[in-house]
Amino acid sequence: MPDVPRWFDSHCHVQEHYEPDADVLIRAAEAGVAGVVCVGTDAGSSAEALALAASPPAGAPKIWTTIGLHPHEASRGAGEVTNLLEQAMTADGARPVAVGECGLDYYYEHSPRPAQREAFAAQIALAIEHDLTLMIHARDAWDDLFDILGAEGVPERTVLHCFTGGPAEARRCLDAGLYVSFSGIVTFQNAPEVREAAAMCPLDRLLVETDSPFLAPVPHRGARNEPGFVAIVGAFVASLRGLDAIEMATTSSSAAAAAFALGAV
């Protein structure tokens, strides 16, 4: 029987957007997904992720979670997610593996930039305090991103999710010690610089993700994304690098295990 790639979706939001479609995780397992990270964007969605991880559907991939405040929601302040994180770290149930997604979004600017910077700095401090991975969202804010990381410190394990830059920005991430995660954007015809970055990123620092339900890869672009589509993203990145899908699945899953301190996945 031929080997089957076993993928890891390092960033998805199934706890928020798929009710009552619990089969989305079953489909992911059938597509070869062994593990997913369900990412919080505020206190409510973070709590939902913890609940899903504590009671996953039968046959689902293994589920890990994060607790964080998205930059779109930064005007709320980080107090609620801080309290939830403190509770989760001492509770008997599922514990988060990362703080985030947090960071800066100067494209939409749903929250004022000062509020984004303040919430981001607060969550960097939480990740360092609790020795958790930091999950970063960054759009059109590279200089401020690295200025804040330089001032606050870079947690030992930090992931730049849904990478949207080119080789120069990828090099800045790598030089700062970050893992770089590629989403379905890498398959888009209008994203040549993202493909260049994926082709040059060291395999031990390269993750793949869906960011589902957003950013479905070609040939599903425009449809609702699913964790199972991480196999499409990973196979596309493999083709850029002249690798087969099994090797890419193995290396990206190993990198994810290191990025989130999971042990074997």
How far is residue 17's CA from residue 11's CA, in Å, rounded to a whole number?
14
- According to the model, what pLDDT value does residue 143 have? 98
**Helical (H) or strand (E) element with 135:** strand 133-139
Residue 20: predicted pLDDT: 53
Tens-place pLDDT, residues 161-211: 999 999 999 999 999 999 999 999 999 999 999 999 999 999 999 999 999
3-state secondary structure 65-81: EEECCCHHHHHHCCHHH
Cβ-based neighbours of 9, under 8 Å, separated by 6 or more? 28, 33, 35, 36, 37, 61, 208, 209, 210, 212, 227, 230
Taking every pair of C-alpha atoms in the chain, what is the biggest distance, in angstroms?
A: 56
What was the pLDDT predicted at 199? Answer: 98
Residue 1 has pLDDT above 50, yes or no: no
* Higher per-residue pLDDT: 101 or 264: 101
Q: Distance between CA 36 and CA 61 in Å, rounded?
A: 7
pLDDT in tens, 8-21: 999 999 998 876 56
The residue type found at 89 is M
> What pLDDT is recorded for position 265?
74
Single-letter residue type at 246: I
Q: Quick one: residue 169, left, alpha or beta (phi over 0 = left, psi -120 to 50 = alpha)? A: alpha
Q: Is the pLDDT of residue 214 over 80?
A: yes
Q: What is the mean pLDDT of residues 217-232?
A: 97
Cα 11 from Cα 160, distance rounded (Å): 11
Closest CA to 148 of 174, 124, 178, 177: 124
Which pLDDT score is estimated for 162? Answer: 98
Q: What is the mean pLDDT of residues 223-229?
A: 96
Task: Give the mean model confidence (pLDDT) for residues 46-54.
Answer: 95
Average pLDDT over the chain, rounded to whole? 95
Query: What letters, b where the CB count within 10 A reaches 16 and e where it falls short, cover 85-118?
Result: beebeeeeebbbbbbbbbbbbbeeeebeeebbbb
- CA-closest candidate to residue 11, choices 156, 177, 160, 155: 160
Q: Is the four-CA dihedral 12, 16, 20, 22 of positive or negative sign?
A: positive
- SS3 percent helix, strand, coil of the chain, rounded to 5, is 50, 15, 35
Please state the rounded mean pLDDT for residues 24-52: 96
Q: Which tens digit of pLDDT belongs to each residue from 66-119? A: 999 999 999 999 999 999 999 999 988 789 999 999 999 999 999 999 999 999
Contacts of residue 202, Cβ cutoff 8 Å, sequence gap at least 6: 174
Which runs of consecutive H residues, i.e. helices, occur in the chain?
A: 14-17, 23-30, 43-54, 79-90, 113-130, 142-152, 167-175, 192-200, 230-241, 245-259
Q: What is the pLDDT of residue 264?
A: 72
* Cα–Cα distances in angstroms (integers) from residue 8 to residues 52, 177, 228, in the given order: 17, 21, 9
